[in-house]
A and B are shown apart, each in its own frame.
Chain A
């Protein structure tokens, strides 16, 4: 039982420590947020993914279920 409690405390401590590391890394990244934002927004890969999503959505029958839900709600 004592071992379990010690392990549990150690794990919790490590997780908290890691969480702080991630936050620090994010803060570091945010110093370059304008450049990173541009890189993500202009990514050819994500542009292609968006076009693929548009193409696959265009093939699906209309109205979409969420459009039906919306019009039912507004009646």
Chain B
């Protein structure tokens, strides 16, 4: 990845990451949680993880992960590139793990029928395809089917695994 990214840290374990975004609204603390996906109450999808991103804020009630607003800090490409780098960092750790990306569908995205965060995730993947595809396998979900990732095609969900 040759994109500009923010420095990040893992906290407590390898599944929670923190970084700091800076843009038109100033400094915003960001949290990333990578969590195993439960298949149902009894089973778990084999080593499949979901990646979630939100703003870390503090109020009188303590720390929380705020999802109430899109931060709109004007640095989304840099945030997405940072998240992509976090994903790469994570995937080199648990053996045979697969990571699922499904961008948050905000009201603006829903109105326009587009998942903007997914589009940005894909832009980061597509623009670094040569380097990324040498190290990682990618799949995309289109019309309810998983297929090998094709650069330029738009997907509802993306899966990535360290080769």
Contact = CB atoms under 8 A, between A and B. Distances in A.
A43 B65 contact: yes
- Size band of the A side of the interface? 35 or more
B76 interface: no
Given A22-B6, A26-B18, A57 B27 contact: no
A49 B12 contact: no
B16 A45 contact: no
A38 B61 CA distance: 13
Nearest to A37: B12
B102 A40 contact: no
A41 B9 contact: no
A60 interface: yes
A54 B38 contact: yes
A66 B50 CA distance: 15
Given A22-B6, A34-B12, 8 more contacts: A22-B20, A30-B9, A40-B16, A43-B33, A52-B102, A54-B45, A57-B39, A64-B98
